[in-house]
């Protein structure tokens, strides 16, 4: 009785690594490939893998961190800045806008930072005391009334002015407590997500190049070698 015929794969090797390589990249002996072609292939793999890695890291680091409070290095609220300003300052908004960082507005739950047009704030008046704020809103009307008397008179008629620091337009979303100046933290050069994506793209590139080598170049070289010795 003849021995059972084993598949060509098993006749070549039973090594799991080699069987895996045959399936994934079409691995086969490349004895017929010229030495210079092997050198070029190794150079393409090395240089290409490095290039793909660098480009992936560069592309993924072009953005910015999500704009949430924990990703900021500093946050300063408009009402806090105004409250602690010199009480003789007539309008704290220009100084607030000149502070380093970007202008934004915290969400109601304080978990996100929304965009706000800085130009919309340039005509808003903020003052550290109610008396100064009222005089800024109504210039020329209350200049001769002492500060304490003016504040008592305003609060008697409008108690909602007690904690008011800015004359915000009715159409503008956000309050002086929500409007902030903030600075984002820089992107860390190596993040877990960036490393994983970089490794994935490098692995994909290597698999593609190896497939081109073993499935295209190696068979062509073997065919040319067999034809030359026919």
Q: What is the pLDDT of residues 154-166, one digit of tens each?
A: 888 888 878 888 8
pTM metric for this prediction: 0.58
Residue 132's nearest CA partner among 165, 98, 170 is 165
pLDDT, average across residues 5-16: 50
Q: How far apart are CA 145 and CA 164, in angstroms?
A: 19
Q: 72: part of which helix (H) or strand (E)?
A: strand 72-77
Give SS3 for 124. Answer: coil
pLDDT of residue 4: 47
Task: Provide the b/e sequence for 158-190 (b: ≥16 CB within 10 Å).
Answer: eeeeeebbbbbeeeeebbbebbbbbebeeeeee
- Counting beta carbons within 10 angstroms of the beta carbon of residue 86, is it exposed (0 to 12), middle (13 to 18) or buried (19 or more)? exposed
For 7-21, 139-153, 169-183, which range has the lowest pLDDT when averaged over its residues?
A: 7-21
Give SS3 for 164. Answer: coil
- The residue among 214 and 6 whose pLDDT is bigger is 214
pLDDT, average across residues 175-204: 87
Q: 152: part of which helix (H) or strand (E)?
A: helix 147-157
Q: What is the mean pLDDT of the chain?
A: 83
pLDDT tens, 106-155? Answer: 998 889 999 888 888 988 999 988 888 888 777 777 778 887 888 888 88
């Amino acid at each position: 009785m003849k021995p059972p015929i084993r598949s060509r794969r098993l006749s070549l090797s039973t090594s799991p690594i080699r069987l895996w390589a045959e399936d994934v990249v079409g691995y086969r002996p490349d004895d017929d490939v010229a030495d210079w072609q092997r050198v070029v292939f190794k150079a393409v793999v090395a240089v290409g893998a490095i290039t793909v890695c660098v480009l992936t890291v560069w592309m993924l680091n072009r953005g910015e961190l999500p704009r949430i409070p924990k990703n900021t290095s500093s946050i300063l609220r408009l009402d806090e800045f105004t409250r602690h300003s010199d009480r003789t300052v007539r309008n704290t908004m220009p100084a607030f806008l000149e502070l380093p960082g970007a202008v934004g507005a915290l969400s109601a739950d304080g978990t996100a930072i929304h965009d706000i047009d800085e130009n919309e704030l340039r005509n808003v008046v903020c003052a550290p005391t109610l008396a100064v704020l009222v005089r800024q809103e109504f210039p020329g009307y209350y200049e001769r009334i002492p500060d304490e008397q003016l504040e008592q008179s305003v609060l008697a008629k409008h108690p909602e002015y007690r904690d008011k620091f800015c004359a915000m337009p009715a159409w503008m979303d956000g309050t002086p407590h929500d409007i902030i100046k903030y600075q984002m933290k820089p992107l860390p050069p190596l993040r877990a997500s960036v490393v994983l994506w970089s490794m994935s793209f490098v692995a994909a590139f290597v698999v593609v190049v190896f497939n081109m080598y073993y499935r295209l170049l190696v068979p062509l070289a073997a065919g040319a070698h067999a034809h030359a010795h026919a």
